[in-house]
Amino acid sequence: MNENKLINRLSKYIDSDYLFLTPSGTDAIIKSLRILTLPSDAEVIVPSFCCRAVADAVIKCRLKPVFSDVSINNYNISVADIEKVLTQKTAAVIVVHLFGQPATIDEIIDYAKRKSIFVIEDAAQAFGGVYKNGAKLGTLGDIGIFSFGYEKIIDAGGGGAILTNRNDFAVEFKKQVTGYKNHKQWTERLDFLMNSIDDNLSIRRENAILYKKHLNINLITHPEYLNGLGTFFRYSCALNYDCRSKLIEELKRDGELATTLYSQPLHAIYGNPDGNFKNTDSIASRIINMFVRSPYTGEYIIKITDKIKKTLESINE
């Protein structure tokens, strides 16, 4: 496997000036933070509603993660959320495009520039997703990261990537990302799966549309996804009643599966219960996620959504 050819292929698809392969998405975040050479007491804002690996990466760099609430409408961090936790020690914000759907990254970047803080785009769940101006997610901030691990948009069994359009950062990344072993285990699969990336994204979008259509009931609140933008890692929505455990139990009994990412938010994991996390707590307690990737089909989606509707209606009679 010629890694340079793969890197060029990925860079061209994403339209990034510089792209570097890493062992994982978490490693990509760690390296991104380290090349920023932040002060030892620097704070990095992280949305509380996301994968704990994001916070772990900040901690591994001996920086302080400061958790923010998220928007009730799309489960992502916004400028308003950042403003509430910004301090004089804030040096960077990690913007997670959760479940493949974009945060308002243009607004966040404008705000960050005014406050002189760095923006790292975590597009681990959003490979191939686009934003309002047609730019691929991950290319808009100072640095972007991808993951090609388990169940990501491209599941290569491992690996990640860093991308940037800043030459000064690229020079530093080149010093950090050489000499890895075992790249071959996932780069060959990644290269192969890139052959079908557009079909992959199309299937995910079509399936997500079906979920929303067939779960259009007053027992469920759907997020305000930006039409035609982003992509879909899972299709996620929130139950309007406290019945999630019963629903998951009923689905499992019939051999069906819905997940509950991220039912334990980061502020709870890391012992920070005193902040204002009203939206995060609400979403975390009510969210369900459905699979959209191939081989899940329209027939399957109709089957599981019918089961969800019947179960919710029986619970709430």
What does the pLDDT look like over 92-116, one tens digit per residue?
999 999 999 999 999 999 999 999 9
Q: How far, in Å, are 7, 60, 75, 169, 242 from residue 125 at the CA level? A: 19, 22, 14, 23, 27
| Alpha-carbon span 231 to 7, nearest angstrom | 22
Alpha-helical (H) ranges within 215-295 are: 244-253, 266-269, 278-286
Q: What is the pLDDT of residues 79-92, one digit of tens each?
A: 999 999 999 999 99
C-alpha of 138 from chain center: 11
Q: Which pLDDT does position 179 carry in this prediction?
A: 57
Beta strands at 220-221 and 43-47: parallel, antiparallel or unpaired: unpaired
Q: What fold does the segment set 3-196 form as a domain?
A: Aspartate Aminotransferase; domain 2 (3.40.640)
- Amino acid, res. 198: D
Q: Which pLDDT does position 2 carry in this prediction?
A: 86
When pLDDT is cut at 50, 70 and 90, the band that residue 138 belongs to is very high
Sorted by where each begins, the domain ranges of the chain are 3-196, 197-315
When pLDDT is cut at 50, 70 and 90, the band that residue 185 belongs to is confident
DSSP state of 136: B
Alpha-helical (H) ranges within the chain are: 3-14, 25-35, 52-60, 79-85, 105-115, 167-176, 184-193, 197-214, 244-253, 266-269, 278-286, 298-315
pTM of the model: 0.97
C-alpha of 179 from chain center: 28
Q: Which pLDDT does position 183 carry in this prediction?
A: 80
* Residue 1 predicted with pLDDT over 70: no
Tokens 């730019």 -> residue:
135
CATH code for the domain defined by 197-315:
3.90.1150.10
| Alpha-carbon span 133 to 168, nearest angstrom | 25
Q: How far, in Å, are 36, 94, 240, 275 from residue 6 at the CA level? A: 26, 26, 45, 44
Q: How many CB atoms lie within 10 A of CB 276?
A: 13
